């Protein structure tokens, strides 16, 4: 079968790119001819929109109009050379083909489950509510025409029902993890609390930083980098001083304001003072790491903290579970929360630094607890194989 995988090209390689690349390889090993079909998602033009658009209109809400422009690009694509097509990130599901499967991991979240949060923290563009209305309407019309939507988690399945009213053409597919991680058999130890992932809003590594200031005798490890890394390091420096001098900073200020570079005058002044005093931090930043170094960090982790808000799936948690590590996730963590049996393979806590710190302390004070929950986490991870993923996909490849 000739299969086209249609994907926006964001010029980055993250968790979803890993999933798509593995999916392509698995399908090829089954004997299918698979071709990636990319559209440059960084393209800033708006030439595809079939109506006049003034500069004034565009600059009032550029992200909205870029989305509409890309929507039209996908809508007009000729994909008749393929027997089946698999769309991926939005708005690639606007493509038209009689045998269309959508591998659906998330909406354009600022117009959906993050819409209220975006407005709360002041990141919305003008006419945000109208943009939300339009995007949801055109997305729903396109998604309703898709033969099968394979949602990447139950969390996503629920969002499709809530926001788009879709359920009859929706099934759930869980991506497998890298076989090298899945079959890891190296040495394990339980040393440092670790958080892994991109530093973007609202992944909330800031809550982990704040939690570690309440676990002063432990060193926390932050693996990864991103657009918010510099702010995260400033927050770490500020919170280190705040802990030393018993200055209280609310959790919401930390992850809803500071994480987006919004340091009000009071905190700017404190930040300058923290820079001068330069207290030693109990956080180690690794930056981006190789696969080998990622394995080392997982293998030495006391536990892995997944503090993200409304995550789509939870690949990091499953990877960590394969290393027999217990997980700490937040109750509003979306896909992460799906994976946790509280008190069995990890802890599901309130999204506060205090709750995260309390869970970390349980493991640091009782390593046998970390080992026991880590073993349970390992058993959870055994469900997430690529064989299971491809079996589920095959159910829908045969129309």
pLDDT tens per residue across span 212-242: 999 989 999 999 999 999 999 999 999 999 9
Least confident of 8-17, 34-43, 116-125, 363-372: 8-17
Same domain, 290 and 377: yes
- For the chain, the domain total comes to 2
Same domain, 219 and 294: yes
Mean pLDDT of 36-42: 95
Contacts of 196 by beta carbon, 8 Å cutoff, 6+ apart: 223, 224, 294, 297, 298, 304, 316, 319, 320
Same domain, 240 and 372: yes
Same domain, 25 and 86: yes
pLDDT at 60: 87
Q: Is residue 114 scored above 80 in pLDDT?
A: yes
Same domain, 92 and 36: yes
The pLDDT confidence band at residue 85, using thresholds 50, 70 and 90, is very high
* Domain extent at residue 25: 2-176+386-397
Helix axes 315-322, 367-381, angle to 10 degrees: 110
CATH code of residue 204: 3.40.50.2000
Same domain, 43 and 91: yes
Same domain, 215 and 143: no
Rounded to two decimals, the pTM is: 0.92
Same domain, 392 and 308: no
- Let me know: does 324 contact 374? Beta carbons within 8 Å: yes
Q: Is residue 399 scored above 60 in pLDDT?
A: no
The pLDDT confidence band at residue 398, using thresholds 50, 70 and 90, is low
Same domain, 330 and 315: yes
Same domain, 216 and 313: yes
Same domain, 140 and 264: no
Least confident of 49-53, 89-93, 225-229, 234-238: 49-53
Tens digits of residue pLDDT in 168-218: 999 999 999 889 999 999 999 999 999 999 999 999 999 999 999 999 899
What whole-number distance in Å separates Cα of residue 308 and Cα of residue 331? 10
Same domain, 248 and 106: no
pLDDT at 201: 94
């Amino acid at each position: 079968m000739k299969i086209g995988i249609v994907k926006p090209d964001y010029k980055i390689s993250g968790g979803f790119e890993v999933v798509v690349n593995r999916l392509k390889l698995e399908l090829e090993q089954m004997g299918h001819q698979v071709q990636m079909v990319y559209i440059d998602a960084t393209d800033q033009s708006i030439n595809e929109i079939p109506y006049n658009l003034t500069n004034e209109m565009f600059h009032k809400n550029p992200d909205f109009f870029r989305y509409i422009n890309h929507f039209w690009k996908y809508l007009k694509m000729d994909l008749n050379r393929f027997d089946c097509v698999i769309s991926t990130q939005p708005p690639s599901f606007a493509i038209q083909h009689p045998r269309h499967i959508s591998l659906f991991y998330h909406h354009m979240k600022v117009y959906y489950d993050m819409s209220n949060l975006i407005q709360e923290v002041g990141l919305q563009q003008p006419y945000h509510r109208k943009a939300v209305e339009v995007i949801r309407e055109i997305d729903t019309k396109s998604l309703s025409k898709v033969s099968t939507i394979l949602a990447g988690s139950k969390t996503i399945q629920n969002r499709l029902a809530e926001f788009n009213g879709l359920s009859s053409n929706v099934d759930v597919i869980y991506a497998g993890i890298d076989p090298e991680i899945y079959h890891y058999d190296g040495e394990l130890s339980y040393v440092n609390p670790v958080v892994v992932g991109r530093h973007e809003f609202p992944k909330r590594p800031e809550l982990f930083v704040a939690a570690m200031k309440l676990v002063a005798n432990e060193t926390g490890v932050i693996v990864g980098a991103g657009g918010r890394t510099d702010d995260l390091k400033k927050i770490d420096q500020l919170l280190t001083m705040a802990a030393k001098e018993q200055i209280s900073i609310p959790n919401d200020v930390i992850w809803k304001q500071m994480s987006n570079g919004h340091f009000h005058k009071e905190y700017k002044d404190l930040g300058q003072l923290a820079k001068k005093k330069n207290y030693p931090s109990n956080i180690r930043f690794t930056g981006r790491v190789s696969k080998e170094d990622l394995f080392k960090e997982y293998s030495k982790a006391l536990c892995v903290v997944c503090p993200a808000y409304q995550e789509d799936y939870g690949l990091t948690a499953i990877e960590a579970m394969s290393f027999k590590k217990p997980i700490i996730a937040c109750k509003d963590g979306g896909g992460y929360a799906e994976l946790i049996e509280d008190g069995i393979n990890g802890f599901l806590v309130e999204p506060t630094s205090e709750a995260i710190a309390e869970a970390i302390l349980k493991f640091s004070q009782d390593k046998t607890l970390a080992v026991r929950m880590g073993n349970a986490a390992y058993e959870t991870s055994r469900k997430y194989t690529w064989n299971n993923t491809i079996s589920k996909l095959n159910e829908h490849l045969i129309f």
